[in-house]
Each structure stands twice: as structure tokens, then as C-alpha cells.
Amino acid sequence: MDSSTNLFEVHDNILELVLNLLNYSSTSSFYEDIRKIREWIIKQPHFPEVMADKNIENFLILNKGSVEKCKEKIENYYSVRTHLTDIYGNINPKLPYMEYTLKAMYFVPLPKLTKDFYRVLYHKIRDTSLTKNLDYDDAVRLLVNIQELRMTEDITYGDVVIMDGQNTPPSLLFKAKPTTLYNALVVIYKKVFSNRIKAVYLINAPSCIEWFLTVIKKIIKPKIFERIHICENWNTIFEQIGEEILPRDCGGKEKSLEELQDILAQEFKKHQQYFDQLDTLRVNEELRPQRLEDNNMFGFFGNFKKLEID
């Protein structure tokens, strides 16, 4: 039986295969861990909801089956929605500037998983004429909204990212603020969702890519930075990912980026009620058992004042 959606092709046997990689003895032990986490959530007076089991499932997979780490990331998930207002204050896909971002850039998850169960995300400028008014904060918001879709419909074992710079004007990269990159790569991607990055492939890189990588290198851990590969052609990407996964735009056999972007937009509309609900998810600090500390890692109360990037 195929349990795939229009955007994420996830077959019924994938979960069992992923759990084997995480050293679960059985699916029943996995669901027992989900039960424990759900009971813990119920006992948190400051949480705004009892998270759906599918989302707990993905948090547990992202945290390699560690119940305690999963609890930590769920705490971060609700807290960051409350405190990182620069990103989460206006993130609903129905907002005009979010629709503008979809028109300006492709940022699509490719439907088929790799042979080792990673999801490929493909980024490319869609309309160069719209980049002048493109805000990278909105690109981060788009990435978060895609992740929300994945948490409800995908099996989020890990990611491979393709960044195609074919239509990227150098001026656009210079608009990227260090705090925005930190929010995306450290706060949200790592400290909230714990996404495993297997590789990042940069193809058709603009002339200023070395400057951009210098900024990135100061933000992420060295072992992650080493997974960034600048590719002179598509050969390496085809060898590592496979033509059946890649879109027709680069010679693959999957739907075109235009078709995939349209499916993504439809998925946002289909889940509009869910995103409206997400807008309301805020922790009640008065009921929090233990107050958040002034933590530079999340920018709470300090808004990244300690972050120094030359």
C-alpha cells in the first residue's frame, strides 16, 4: 500500500526500514516511546497543545530515537514559535509576501527519497526580476513552512540540499543577514528540528560564493561545513542522488520545478487550517515550570546581540 501524498512519496515499508537504522527492535517499541512523549507533553502546563502523534514520530526519528532529546526539541519548537518573532510573527503561507516568495524562488522538496531515505530539497531563483524585493527572512519562513508540511506527511530522516545559483544575482547573496542565516541554520534547522544534513551541493555558483561561504563557515559547525560541495557540473549530483529523483530541469526524470512548485502551493492551501492553527501556538510563560534563561543560542531576550560575525 502506498501512503504517499502529492508531494512526498513515502511507502509503508519506509518507516520500518528507518527504524532499523535507528536500532529499534520493533515498531511497537517505537510507538511505546511516542506514548511516553505524549504523556510528558500532557503534563507540560505551558504547552499550547498536545502534539499530534505523526509530528512526535518525526521528532523522535530526527533525534535518533532519543526520548530525552525529543522532549528537548519539542520544548524548543514551541518556545521558538513564541520568542523568535522576527521569523514566526508573520509566517502564514497565505500572507502576500509569502506568496511573493513562492513566485520569486523555487524551494521544493523532491517527491522521491534517496536510497538511504534522505529528502532532497532543491532551491533556485524562479524569477530574477522579483529578487530586488526578495527578503531572505521570507525564504527562511518558506523553509519552516515546508518543514511543517514534512512533519505532518513525510518521514524526516534527513536532508540533501541542492542550491542552484543559475539565476541568482550576486546582489541577492549580499542581502543575506548573518542573523537570518543563524536563525535558519542553527536555531531552526538544528536546535528545533534537528535535521540531519547529509550534503549540500552548490551548482552554477555565483562569483561571490566564496564570500557567502565565509559567512556560513562562522555560523555552522566544521563537520557540517565539510558537507558543502561546490560542483562544476551535474555529474557528482547525478551520481550521488540519481536521475529518477532529480527534476527534468537538470536532466532528471522527476516532474519539473514549475510543476513541483505548483504542487507545493496547492499543499499549502490544502493545509491552510493547520497553518492558521500554528499561528496560535505560543507557550504560556507564566505556567512554565522552569523559566527560560537568557540564551544566546536561541536569541531569547537578547536577540542575538552576542553573535559576532566580521
Specify the CATH number for the domain of residue 259. 3.40.525.10
Most confident of 3-7, 282-286, 292-296: 282-286
Beta-carbon contacts of 25 under 8 Å, excluding residues fewer than 6 positions away, are none
- Let me know if residue 44 belongs to a domain: yes
- Let me know if residue 154 belongs to a domain: yes
- Let me know if residue 69 belongs to a domain: yes
How do beta strands 105-109 and 159-164 pair?
Answer: unpaired
pLDDT of residue 308: 36
**8 pLDDT more than 90:** yes
For the chain, the domain total comes to 1
CB 113 within 8 A of CB 241: no
Name which residue leads in pLDDT, 157 or 293: 157
- Let me know if residue 297 belongs to a domain: no
pLDDT band at 292 (very low <50, low <70, confident <90, very high): low
pLDDT of residue 185: 86
- Let me know if residue 295 belongs to a domain: no
Q: What is the total residue count of the chain?
A: 310
Domain limits at 205? 1-287
**297 pLDDT more than 70:** no
The residues facing 159 across adjacent strands are: 119, 197
pTM: 0.91
Beta strands in the chain (DSSP E): 105-109, 119-125, 159-164, 197-203, 228-231
H or E stretch covering 169: none
Name which residue leads in pLDDT, 255 or 183: 255
**What distance in Å separates the CA atoms of residue 149 and residue 60, rounded to the nearest whole number?**
16
**What distance in Å separates the CA atoms of residue 15 and residue 10, rounded to the nearest whole number?**
9
Average pLDDT of 61-75?
A: 97
DSSP state of 127: -
- Let me know if residue 169 belongs to a domain: yes
**Three-state DSSP class for residue 254:** strand
CB 260 within 8 A of CB 76: no
Q: Which of 158, 154, 147 is nearest to 117 (CA)?
A: 158
- Let me know if residue 296 belongs to a domain: no
Tens-place pLDDT, residues 219-261: 888 999 999 999 999 999 999 999 999 999 999 999 999 999 9
- Let me know if residue 58 belongs to a domain: yes
Cα torsion 96, 100, 102, 107: sign: negative
